[in-house]
Every structure is written in C-alpha cells, then in structure tokens.
C-alpha cells in the first residue's frame, strides 16, 4: 500500500476529482489499490489532470454537476466532496455555481455517502476564518467573515457546507469528517487561476513583473499538495467528526514569496505593486495541534522544495 494512504478503501468517489487537489487525491487512491469514481463537470477542473488515470483499471470518470442529483455505478465506502471553484478568479466568475455546489452539491454527496454507509469527508477551507482576529487559527475559532463581500460566495458556501455536514451526522448518523485546507499549492494549478503561487511562477518564467497586492506584507501558509493529500486521507481514515486544519504552520509574506520565486526561477522579473482585493485576509496560519495529536500528521515538504517541484512542472506545461 502507498504510504500516503493510511488504510484501504474498496471504492472511493471523489467529487471535483478533475480539479487540482481532487486529481492528486484520485492518483493517491488509485496507487494504493482503491477503485475511484471521479465526478466533475469541468467548470474549473480539467481533463488533462486525470488523463493519466483514464485507462487504468478501476478508474471511472463521470461528468456531472453535483448540484444536481447524481448516482454512481457501484456503492462507495468513501466519498470525498471536493467539488467547488476554489480560486478567486473562479468563484468571483461563478458565484452562484459556487454557492450551489457548497449547498446542493454537499447535500447530494452526503446523500450518496449515507445511502452507501460510506465515510464522507468535506473539503472546507481556511477561508471560513475570514480576516482572522485570532492568530494562528485553531478549529475552535469562529472566524471573521463578511457575509456579503465579494469573497462571500466561497466563504459562506464552505461555512454552510460545514453546517450541513454536521447536521447530517447529528440527525442521520452519517460518518462524516471535515478538513479545512490552508493554501495548498503544487503541480496542476492553473497559471491564471488568481492564486499567488501559480501567478508568481507564471510571471517569473515569462520575465514579467510579479504583481504583489497591497504592500505585500499579508501572510499565507503554503502547504505542498502531497502533504495536503496525506492529511486528507489521514482524516478520512480517522473517526473524528469535527473540522481539522490541514496546512503548514510556517508563515510567509506575499512579498517574501515573490522574491523567493524570482530567485528559484532565476528570473529577471521585478516586483510591481497593485491594489489589494477587498476583504483580502491580513494573516493566515493554521494551528495544527489537532492534526498532530489525533491524526499523527504534519507537513514534511519544505516550502523551497515544494516550490522547486512546482516550478519544474510549470517549465514543462503551458501556464493556462
């Protein structure tokens, strides 16, 4: 069994499985011997993310919008609900779809899990903490979210998804878990999805100015996708119901990140400052005590190593 996967499932359904994190989850599960049904509508996911899996025995791709009722050909024993636009460029463009995926989509994925008596894991996000007034953020913090700001379509979709998942477990006894992901990055991120790492790498490799928003002193905590996948599957294998932070507790400012990427790419690019988006969080850093204590998980890939791997991938792929 792949060391990434702490237990063996017979059949997993991954909604949003053609997306960035979802496709890495599909690969890890397949490599460990789990059959996978990948459900995606390609609103933000891409066929090329799962191209390497399409001919493998045990992998099934099903094109569907999970905000509409859907079914799969065989009962799963694990449902990973990762369908959702996740980058600013996507959820600002697809606001209603984001809200429907977080509400109706979560409801439909929960129904699938409940009917099959499967373990269900919701992909939530550090964005439920909003622009936090508590730092670092632990799972007991309720957050500071603007419910009608431009980011609310994503923030509130995930907050509602958490509430729905919790209610489902309480009322129907469905075996559920929630992971709050912090700033995952790595291969297969789209270069124009609006997030800092792919944007900076794309710009640096093209010799363009790196566009840092505001003064660049806002922080994020970057977690390489392989570490994130290990954390998600550790949570799936555990019986814990409540949310757990999956992220890297090492903070970095966006200005530091831009300078680091310029150095690692050997780019002649300079830094250009642009307007900071509305409601952009000033800080972001997970307290991962719960993940360490309950799941035995913590990130192991350093930021420099993760960025080197990601840059190498971008050198070989079109940053679209």
Could you list the active site residues?
Answer: 154
Q: What are phi and psi of 200, to 5 degrees?
A: -65, -40
Rounded Cα–Cα distance for residues 22 and 35 (Å)? 15
* Encoded tokens for 39: 């459900």
Give Cα separations from 202 to 69, 113, 270 (angstroms).
Answer: 38, 39, 13
**Do residues 73 and 37 make contact, with C-beta atoms less than 8 angstroms apart?**
yes
Q: Taking Cα atoms as reference points, which of 276, 281, 261, 156 lies closest to residue 208?
A: 261
Rounded Cα–Cα distance for residues 211 and 276 (Å)? 10
**Do residues 203 and 269 make contact, with C-beta atoms less than 8 angstroms apart?**
yes
């Amino acid at each position: 069994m792949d060391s990434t996967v702490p237990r063996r499932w017979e059949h997993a359904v991954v909604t949003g499985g053609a997306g960035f994190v979802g496709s890495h989850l599909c690969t890890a599960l397949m490599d460990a011997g789990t059959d996978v049904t990948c459900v995606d509508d390609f609103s933000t996911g891409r066929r090329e993310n799962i191209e390497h899996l399409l001919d493998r025995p045990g992998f099934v791709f099903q094109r569907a919008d999970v905000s509409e009722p859907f079914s799969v050909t065989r009962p799963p024993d694990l449902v990973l609900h990762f369908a959702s636009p996740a980058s600013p460029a996507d959820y600002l463009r697809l606001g209603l779809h984001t809200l429907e995926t977080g509400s109706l989509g979560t409801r439909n994925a929960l129904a699938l899990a409940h009917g099959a008596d499967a373990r269900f894991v919701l992909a939530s996000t550090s964005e439920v903490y909003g622009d936090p007034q508590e730092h670092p953020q632990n799972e007991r913090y309720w957050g500071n979210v603007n419910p009608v700001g431009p980011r609310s379509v994503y923030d509130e979709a995930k907050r509602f998804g958490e509430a729905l998942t919790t209610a489902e477990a309480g009322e129907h006894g469905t075996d559920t878990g929630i992971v709050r992901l912090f700033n995952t990055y790595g291969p297969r991120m789209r270069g124009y999805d609006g997030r800092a790492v792919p944007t900076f790498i794309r710009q640096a490799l093209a010799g363009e100015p790196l566009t840092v928003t505001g003064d660049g002193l806002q922080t994020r905590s970057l977690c390489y996708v392989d570490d994130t996948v290990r954390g998600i599957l550790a949570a799936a294998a555990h019986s814990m119901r409540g949310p757990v932070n999956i992220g890297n507790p090492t903070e970095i400012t966006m200005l530091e990140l831009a300078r680091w990427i310029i150095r690692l790419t050997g780019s002649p690019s300079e830094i250009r400052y642009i307007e900071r988006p509305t409601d952009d969080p000033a800080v972001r850093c997970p307290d991962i005590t719960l993940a360490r204590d309950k799941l035995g998980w913590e990130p192991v890939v350093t930021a420099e190593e993760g960025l080197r791997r990601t840059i190498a991938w971008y050198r070989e792929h079109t940053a679209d």
